[in-house]
């Protein structure tokens, strides 16, 4: 199998799986238990938290473990935002970029029902936030701004430094960054001091599913997401999933160590794939702004679902949009925001790599692209 759907989920590496199994077998006690076994598990938990904090260049008590990136994003917009509103009842505006993940975007009706005024920051034709238009949206009435680090559909890398500079004049605005797609190659970009809240998800960087991360700076007014036994310093009660938490911390350390080498390698492979696609008359989106590990392209005239099936029959796994919407045959939300013609957007697919992708796999993918493209070219000519 050729797996090029890493933006949907990654395969846990053998080293990480070994850690997961060892912790599951040997450290199964509840970290909240007062006995010795529980205390040892609590120590492991805090070691994992400290490791994540060091990698993100924040304090350990600014790191919280959740069950997923979606949960972390919901915590921000449903709890942290309300807490900020209580402290600033005269402010009621929220700014989201037009290309946010569904776990952000689908909360808009809820936010509006609570009385928040939601404004959307436009993106340009490359999928990047229009910095000038974002600046025009900023005001003293804004409570929170949420932006991605790397878009999950087309891979556009957002200019977090430029956004950070804009926010220098608005210290009251909470800035949340969805960094879920950024860990593969862009960890350093997400270490902006101005970022107040950062979402990550372990299964996007070769850890098992079931652990998300929400970094909250000390300056954020915090409030509980889940009530109960008082875990995560009383803010997210639920017995901790210790095995996946420890595995996620280790996977994040591995991802950081490989950043430079992976970027150089995947940039080269990205360019090879783009060249192959364009030589076969594909349209590649966000070609210059995309992270090297994500490629979004369309073969005009052929529906994305048909393309996915053709790749799958060749043993290559790719997707149409984000995994959250691909089976629902929803339109490319990001391409729509970029102004791409709907007839072209419906032919779009996403190929995504990770730090585990090999040159051999890419070479095999190139052959698949050539075969599929020639087949559909003949099909279109025969219509």
Structural domain ending residue among the three candidates 224, 254, 284: 254
Q: What's residue 320's pLDDT?
A: 87
Give the pLDDT of residue 375: 85
Task: Give the integer Cα–Cα distance in Å for 103 and 126.
Answer: 22
Q: CATH code at 200?
A: 3.40.640.10
Tokens linked to 309? 């099936």
Report residue 198 as tokens: 């950062």
Please give the Cα distance from 11 to 21 (Å, whole number).
15
Q: Name the domain count of the chain.
A: 2
Which stretches of the chain score pLDDT less than 50?
A: 326
If asked whether residues 269 and 231 sit together in one domain, one would say no
User: Where in the chain does DSSP place strands (E)?
Assistant: 2-3, 63-66, 93-97, 117-121, 142-148, 174-178, 197-201, 212-216, 283-285, 294-298, 316-317, 348-352
pLDDT at residue number 324: 52
Catalytic residue among 41, 128, 184, 324: 324
At 332 the pLDDT is 80
218 in the same domain as 90: yes
Measured distance CA(288)–CA(295) in Å, rounded:
10
> Is 324 among the catalytic positions?
yes
CATH code of residue 262 = 3.90.1150.10
Q: Are residues 108 and 146 in the same domain?
A: yes
Mark 227-253 as b/e (b = at least 16 C-beta within 10 Å): eeeebbeebbeeebbbbbbbbbbbbbe
- Residues 243 and 326 occupy one common structural domain: no
Longest dimension (CA), the chain: 74
| Torsion sign (Cα): 210, 216, 220, 224 | positive
Phi/psi at 260 (nearest 5 deg)? Answer: -65, -50
The model's pLDDT over 216-253, given as tens digits with 9 standing for 90+, comes to: 999 999 999 999 999 999 999 999 999 999 999 999 99
Residue 305 structural domain: 2-8+258-382
């Amino acid at each position: 199998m050729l797996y090029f759907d890493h933006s949907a989920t990654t395969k846990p590496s053998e080293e990480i799986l070994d850690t997961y199994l060892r912790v599951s077998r040997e450290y199964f006690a509840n970290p909240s238990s007062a006995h010795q076994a529980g205390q040892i598990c609590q120590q492991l938990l805090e070691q994992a938290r400290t490791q994540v904090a060091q990698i993100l260049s924040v304090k350990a008590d600014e790191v919280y473990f959740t069950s997923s990136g979606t949960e972390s994003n919901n915590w921000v917009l449903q709890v942290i935002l309300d807490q900020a509103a209580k402290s600033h009842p005269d402010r009621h505006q929220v700014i989201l970029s037009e290309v946010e993940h569904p776990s952000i975007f689908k909360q808009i009706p809820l936010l509006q029902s609570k009385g928040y005024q939601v404004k959307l920051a436009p993106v340009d034709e490359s999928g990047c936030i229009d910095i000038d238009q974002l600046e025009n949206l900023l005001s003293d009435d804004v409570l929170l701004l949420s932006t991605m680090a790397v878009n999950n559909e087309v891979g556009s890398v957002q200019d977090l430094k430029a956004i950070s500079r804009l926010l220098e004049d608005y210290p009251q605005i909470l800035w949340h960054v969805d960094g879920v797609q950024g860990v593969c190659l862009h960890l350093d970009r997400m270490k902006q001091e101005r970022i107040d809240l950062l979402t990550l998800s372990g299964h996007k960087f070769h850890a098992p599913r079931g652990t998300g991360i929400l970094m909250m700076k000390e300056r954020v007014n915090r409030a509980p997401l889940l009530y109960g036994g008082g875990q995560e310093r009383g803010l997210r009660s639920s017995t901790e999933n210790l095995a996946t938490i420890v595995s996620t911390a280790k996977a994040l350390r591995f991802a950081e160590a490989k950043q430079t080498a992976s970027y150089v390698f995947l940039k080269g492979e990205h360019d090879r794939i783009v060249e192959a696609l364009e030589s076969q008359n594909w349209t590649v989106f966000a070609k210059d702004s995309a992270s090297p590990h994500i490629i979004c392209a369309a073969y005009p005239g052929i529906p994305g679902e048909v393309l996915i099936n053709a790749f799958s029959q060749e043993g290559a796994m790719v997707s149409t949009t984000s995994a959250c919407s691909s089976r629902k045959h929803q339109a490319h939300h990001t391409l729509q925001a970029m102004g791409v013609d709907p007839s072209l957007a419906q032919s779009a697919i996403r190929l995504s790599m990770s730090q585990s992708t090999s040159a051999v796999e890419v070479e095999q993918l190139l052959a698949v692209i050539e075969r599929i493209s020639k087949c559909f070219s003949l099909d279109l000519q025969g219509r």
